[in-house]
Structure formats: structure tokens, C-alpha cells
Amino acid sequence: MNIVIAGAGYAGTVAANLLARKGRGLKVTVVSPHSEFVERVRLHQEIAGSGPATRPLSEMLDSRVVHRKAAVEKVGDGVVELSDGTSLDFDRMIYAVGSSAAAPEGTLAVGDVDQAREAARRLRALEEGATVTVVGAGLTGIEAASEIAEQRPDLAVRLVGDEIGASLGDAARRRVVEVLSSLGVEVVRGTWTAVDNSDLTLWAVAAQAGDLAARSGLDTDETGRVRVDPQLRSTSHPNVYAVGDTAAVAGTRASCQAALPQGAHAAKNVLAELRGDEPKPFSMSFVGQNVSLGRQNAVIQHAHRNDVPTRIWFGGRPGAYFKEQVCRFAATSARKGSAVTIPGPR
């Protein structure tokens, strides 16, 4: 039986490794244009020079998984067309191509590995007193601005957005603002305009699904994400499971916290189908959000099971330590083909 997995991020990698380890008689092929596994949660570190965000994909994939270095160009009925002009037949597919940040001209997207590397090169070349603007004051923008300010205190770092850390609770948000201020980050509330006189402008506004699914005729929602049934199967193509940022899974948001359990669940459902069992509905609870504020600080926000922030949070060095462990745990889960899933609220 041929299983094709499109994408080797958190969702695709955990699915491939779980299938390779637990499935018998399966040929598992991962299609990904990069030979590296990108820890997207560390791309702000890649930019600031405080740590790499990539490692060889061969270190992450089980040796029984075949990696095809190409992009999926089209998903057809039991066949995918690849960017190298070839095609692959599949019995089941796991569609896990993530999301991409469409950065306006003159800016570089924090969430894209190639643009993050370019940003790192340009940042290194900036001289004392130069200005860096980060657009988007959600968690990714906060992480990018604070990481750069900590690593390059000689630069003027500016964070532009309507509201700082809107998804956090009030107390955690206040702490984020305090730490940004202590790092010398200038917070500019409002909408960014293309003329900002900055020496480097980084784009940290929410990423979107690409057009591959819609182009392929998969049923998508208004944001381009693949519509799925409770078992994570495409509502139009039941032999295709869709997971991670690219899937419209009810009750979840784009995060590796959701991508890992979804990838693992889709893989388990493929195995269930092989045994002749019914695939099971997906269910998960969020546990919170964590935002790094440089290497020495962070804010860890606890959440109710429906992802609404509680009053519980902590920060400082314990927060930074916790956040680092979360990032390591996410990569290790993908490599081991296992994910911790707390069942969702009823």
C-alpha cells in the first residue's frame, strides 16, 4: 500500500514516522522541497543569530521513509504530480503542506525559512543605530522583535501592530509589554505603512494556506484551508487526510501544538483503515500559549481546554526554560512519531 505525505513539517514528519514504525507492508513516501526539517518555532532565532532553525531531514525521518525532494504541484485522484515532472500513485495521502506568509514587497517573512535566512544575512550587515521594524504584534512578531533586540542592542527595534499579544490574558500581556520595553523595543500601535524608513522590515502577520488545495479541486474554506470531516479526511477526497496549518480543523488554530496531534491522528486513522477498522474522530485540548522574549525571558500563558486564557501564567527565566523544553519536545515528538494529545472539551 502506498502512502504519500505532502510536507515534512511537524505534521508530516510525525505522521511519516508513526506510519513507518507501526505499519507493516506500507511504502511511506514524504514529498518535500527541502532536505532540511525546519523548526518554524525557531525561525526568529535563525534571524537573530541565537540558534539554528534547521537540521537535516534525514536525521528526522525514520530510515524506512522515502524522501522525494520535490514540491507537490497537484493532487489528483490517487496520484500526485510533482515539480520534477514525475508523479506518485497513492492509496492514502496525508496532506500537510503548512502555511506561508505572503510578505509585501520590501519586507521579509519571519515564518519562511529562505526569507528568514536572508533576513539574518541583512541583519548581520546592519551597522550600529540602524532600524529594524517588525510588522505584526502577535506572538511571532513579539518573539522576533525581542530576540533581535536582545542579540543586537546596538540597533533600534520597532514592533508595529494594533494590539500587543492579543491572544494572551491581561496580566501576561502587560508582562510582555514590560519586557519589550526593558529590551528597548519601541512599540508602535497602529497599522504599518509601506514607507517606514527602516533598514530592515520583517513581516510577522498571520500566515495563510497556499492555493495548491483549491487548484487541485479539494474542498477548501474561504481561507484556502482544506475542509475535513471529524476524522481529518478531506470532505471532497476521502482518501486524502489533511492536517496542520493547511487544514480547517474545527476547534483548533494554526500551531505546532495542533499540527503534531493531527499528524499522528491521521496516521493512526490510516492504520485503522488498513486493519478494516473505522477511522476515529479527532479531538484535542489546547494547554496554553508560550512566547519567548529573547533567550532569558518568556511568558507562558495557561488556557482553558477551549484555548481561552486563564489567569495563570508565569515568566522570567523559568518561562524561558519551559519554552525551550517545549520547542525541543515538539521536534522530538515529530522524530519519534508520537504526540501527546489531551482530548478536547465535550
Which chain residues interact with ligand FAD by CB under 6 A? 6-12, 31-34, 40-41, 43-44, 71-72, 96-98, 110-111, 140, 143, 212, 244-245, 254-257, 259, 290
Residue among 242, 207, 240, 202 nearest 223 (CA): 207
Which residue has cell 486563564?
A: 310
Q: Number of helices and strands (H, E) in the chain?
A: 9, 20
Q: Which is nearer to ligand FAD, 231 or 278 (CB)?
A: 231
Residue among 146, 158, 149 nearest 190 (CA): 158
Residue among 58, 110, 112, 83 nearest 6 (CA): 83
Reduce the DSSP state of residue 268 to 3 states and report it: helix
Q: Which is nearer to ligand FAD, 239 or 274 (CB)?
A: 239
Closest separation in Å from C-beta 101 to ligand FAD: 8
Q: Which is nearer to ligand FAD, 104 or 278 (CB)?
A: 104
Instruction: Report yes or no: 110 and 38 within 8 Å, Cβ to Cβ.
Output: no
Q: Which is nearer to ligand FAD, 71 or 126 (CB)?
A: 71
Q: Which is nearer to ligand FAD, 80 or 155 (CB)?
A: 80
Closest separation in Å from C-beta 12 to ligand FAD: 6
Q: Which is nearer to ligand FAD, 35 or 276 (CB)?
A: 35
d(CA 232, CA 105): 35
Residue facing ligand FAD at closest CB distance: 9
**Sheet order of strands, 87-89 included:** 72-75, 79-82, 87-89
Instruction: Dihedral sign for Cα 251, 253, 256, 257, please.
Output: negative
Instruction: Report yes or no: 274 and 254 within 8 Å, Cβ to Cβ.
Output: no
Instruction: Dihedral sign for Cα 273, 275, 277, 281, please.
Output: negative
Closest separation in Å from C-beta 60 to ligand FAD: 10
Residues 6+ apart with CB under 8 A from 253: 286, 307
Closest separation in Å from C-beta 198 to ligand FAD: 19
Tell me the one-letter amino acid at 188: V
Residues 6+ apart with CB under 8 A from 143: 44, 291, 292, 293
Q: Which is nearer to ligand FAD, 43 or 293 (CB)?
A: 43
Closest separation in Å from C-beta 200 to ligand FAD: 16
Closest separation in Å from C-beta 64 to ligand FAD: 19
Q: Which is nearer to ligand FAD, 34 or 117 (CB)?
A: 34
Q: Which is nearer to ligand FAD, 198 or 246 (CB)?
A: 246
d(CA 114, CA 201): 15
Closest separation in Å from C-beta 178 to ligand FAD: 20
Q: What angle do CA 310, 313, 180 make, to 5 degrees?
A: 120
The continuous run of DSSP H or E covering 275 comes out as helix 256-275
Give the gyration radius of the chain's Cα atoms.
Answer: 20
Closest separation in Å from C-beta 127 to ligand FAD: 25
Which residue has cell 522570567?
A: 316
Closest separation in Å from C-beta 134 to ligand FAD: 11
